[in-house]
Amino acid sequence: MRYVDEYRNRELILALSEEVKKISKKEITLMEVCGGHTMAIHRFGLHSLLPSNIRLLSGPGCPVCVSSQHFLDTAIAYSKIPGAIITTYGDLIRVPGSVSSLEKEKAKGADVRILYSVLEALEIAKNNPGRPVFFPGIGFETTAPATAAAIVQAKKENIVNFFVLSAHKIMPPVMKALVDEGVKINGFIAPGHVSAITGTAIYNELAAGYGLGVVVTGFEPVDMMQAILMLVRQIESGTPKVEIQYRRIVHPEGNRIAQALLIEVFNHKDDRWRGLGIIRDSGLKIRKDFVGFDAEVKYPVSVPEPPDPKGCICGLILRGLKKPGDCRLFATTCTPSDPVGACMVSGEGTCATYYKYRR
C-alpha cells in the first residue's frame, strides 16, 4: 500500500536502528506522548531494536484514558434523559464510568449511536427534531477542530437540538506539567497529527525553557525510528530543539483554518485529567457565542466526583512513573474485556497495548 509500505520497510528500520546504536551514549528517557505512538512501538516491536540505554515512556496522550470518570458519568446521565440520543466515537462506549458504561446503558434501552464523524450527529439532530442529541467530545487538537466545525455548522443551519459535552484537551500544558512534577524526560516524541493542526511553535517553550528535545513524529515504524535518531542526535550534541520528522504532513505553521475554528469556538479552561488531576488551561470550553450548543450549560446535571478505582495505578502509568506490569490488577482483574482503569479500555491505552502485544 502506498504511503504505508515504504514507511514499514525493514531494511530502513534496521539501518536507522544501527545508527541510533552507534551514536547513542547517554542514558536517556524519551516519552511518546500519543497513544498512537505507543501502539506503533509495540505493534512493530520497536523497543527490541533500541539499545538498552534508551528508555521509552508512554505519556498521557490517549484521549479516552485521560477523560475523567466524571465526564463519562455525565454522558451516562445524559443518556437517561427521556428522548436523548447519545452520539459518540466508538472507543468511548465501553469505557466504564463509576457504575455503568454507555454500552450498558444502550443495552438497557438508551439510544447510543456510534459515529465515524461528528458531522453525522448533525444529520441525526436534523432527523430527530425535538430530541436532544448529545456528542461527548474527546480528543486533542487533532479531533477538536472537527467538533468546532460541527458547532459552527449547527449554528449556521440553526440546529437547536445538538449539544456538545466538551472534554477536549490540548497537549502542551500536560507535557509541561509532567516535567514540572519531576518526571525525568530528555525528549518528547511529539504527536504528528497534533502539529498538523497547531504547527510546531506550541513546543518552543519546552525546547527553549526546559531544554528538552521535541521531534514531531509520524506513526509508522520508519517515522518513529527516525524521530528517535533525531532526538538522540540532539541530546548527544546538547542542542535540544523542535524538529519536524513528519514533513510529509506537518508544516511549521500548521493548519490555519483549523486553528481559527478552534479559537472561534473554544477558549481554554482548567481541566481535570484522569490520574493527573486538574491542569491549568489544559481543556477546551465552548465560548459564550456558542453557548446554545454547550451541553453543560443547557443540561446541567449533578454528578458526584467518583474516586479512582481501588488498586488502579492508571495515574502513575499516565505520568510515566510506572509500567502496566507494576499494577497488581494488570491482566488479573483488569483486562480488555473487563477493564478497571482507563488505560485498559481504549485500544490505545498503555495497559491495553501491553496486554495485547507484550503480556
Partner 1 sequence: MNPREDKILMSHGNGGRMMHDLIGHLFLKHFGNKILEEQTDAAILPVDTPEVAFTTDSFVIDPLFFPGGNIGKLAVCGTVNDLAVSGAEPRYISVSFILEEGFSMQELEVIVKSLAEEARHAKVTIVTGDTKVVNRGKCDKLFINTAGIGMVRKKDQMVGKARNIHPGDVIIINGTIGDHGMAVMNARESFNFKSPVISDCASLNHMIREILDRSSGVKFMRDPTRGGVATVLNELAAKIGHGIEINEQALPISKGVSAMCEILGFDTLHIANEGKVIVVASEQESKLILEIMRNHPLGKQSAVIAHIVSDHPGRVVLKTGTGGKRIIDSLTGDPLPRIC
Point out which residues bind partner 1 (CB under 8 A): 1, 4, 8, 10, 13-14, 34-36, 42-46, 48-49, 63-64, 89-94, 114, 116, 120, 138-140, 142-143, 193, 221, 335-337, 347-348, 355-359
Residue with cell 510546531: 200
Q: How far is the CB of 9 from partner 1 (least distance, A)?
A: 8
CB 241 within 8 A of CB 215: no
Q: Which is nearer to partner 1, 146 or 303 (CB)?
A: 146
Closer CB to partner 1, 85 or 212, in the complex: 85
Neighbouring residues of 345: CB distance < 8 A, sequence distance ≥ 6: 64, 65, 91, 94, 95, 96, 336, 339, 352
Nearer to partner 1, 8 or 55 (CB): 8
Please say which residue, 33 or 212, places its beta carbon nearer to partner 1: 33
Distance between CA atoms of 217 and 190, rounded to whole angstroms? 6
Beta strands in 162-288 (DSSP E): 162-166, 187-191, 213-217, 242-244, 266-273, 277-286
d(CA 350, CA 342): 9
Nearer to partner 1, 251 or 359 (CB): 359
**CA 215 to mean position of chain CA atoms:** 17
Shortest distance in whole angstroms from residue 312 CB to partner 1: 19
Q: Shortest distance, CB of residue 236 to partner 1, whole angstroms?
A: 25
Give CA–CA dist 354/56, Å, rounded: 13
Minimal distance, residue 355 CB to partner 1, in Å: 8
Cell of 225: 525510528
Q: What is the smallest separation between the CB atom of 292 and partner 1, expressed in angstroms? A: 25
- Amino acid present at 248: R
The residue to which cell 480528543 is assigned:
139
Nearest-approach distance from CB 348 to partner 1, in angstroms: 7
Nearest to partner 1 of 93, 207 (CB atom):
93
